Amino acid sequence: MRNLNTKIIIITGLAATGKSWLANIISESTGLPLITKDDIKIELFSSLGTQDRAWDRKLGITALNLQKLVLEKMLEKKVSIIVESNYLDQYDGDRFRELASSFNVEYLQIVLGTDGDTLVKRYIKRATSGEKHEFFNEQNNIEEFSHRLKEGYVAPMDLPGKIIKVDTTDFSKVNIEQIKSDVASFLTDKYLGVALNEGH
């Protein structure tokens, strides 16, 4: 019998690994709605203003809670969706496990990673160029984030489903067509090739 689960594509990784870039490509290729934490945070910043780092963290948590609320509304209507953020299992895994226990949902995690030194340089360049929305004040977070960025990669969340790991150290070497094909296979419940691993 064909699996009729609603699908959630989770795109995650450290800052500056290319999450937004890939999420928009996949959203365009699949036609699925994309809900990002940063888009929600920008709206919160616009309405509530910016303050210190503690305020930024508070709005980040609020943005993730709002993202989950949108997910719940989508899943109630059996609408598949793409979400993007720098998720970590210890902070965000329970949100997704709660959704899995409440809805007939199937996950695909796309985890982006980059060589650590390359990632630090990429983040500093982005922060000092103003590429990111001014609300994020990335130039003030370089020292705080650099140590974490040197790791380059994060572990996927402990969720049922499939995993794709994408190395974005050199964007020109990312096989976008293969990723699109694997995502299409996931959405149509066909066999996913060697790029995918079973989650736990």
Ordered domains of the chain (ranges, CATH): 6-198 (3.40.50.300)
What's the confidence (pLDDT) of residue 141? Answer: 60
Q: Bigger pLDDT: 67 or 56?
A: 67
What's the confidence (pLDDT) of residue 5? Answer: 81
What's the confidence (pLDDT) of residue 118? Answer: 95
Cα separation, 41 vs 27, in Å, equals 20
The model's pLDDT over 74-84, given as tens digits with 9 standing for 90+, comes to 999 999 999 99
Cα separation, 80 vs 6, in Å, equals 5
- % of the chain with per-residue pLDDT over 90: 67
C-beta of residue 16 within 8 angstroms of C-beta of residue 123? yes
Residue 112 above 70 pLDDT?
yes
Residues 6+ apart with CB under 8 A from 165: 111, 113, 156, 197
157: phi then psi, degrees, rounded to nearest 5: -70, 155
Cα separation, 180 vs 178, in Å, equals 5
What's the confidence (pLDDT) of residue 104? Answer: 87
Residue 1 above 50 pLDDT?
no
What's the confidence (pLDDT) of residue 60? Answer: 87
Q: How many CB atoms are closer than 10 A to CB 40?
A: 20
What is the rounded average pLDDT of the residues 142-161? 87
The owner of tokens 């996949």 is 26
pTM of the prediction? Answer: 0.87
Residue 192 above 60 pLDDT?
no
The owner of tokens 């210190």 is 52
C-beta of residue 167 within 8 angstroms of C-beta of residue 111? no
What's the confidence (pLDDT) of residue 54? Answer: 86
What is the rounded average pLDDT of the residues 109-134? 85
Residue 117 above 50 pLDDT?
yes
What's the confidence (pLDDT) of residue 52? Answer: 82
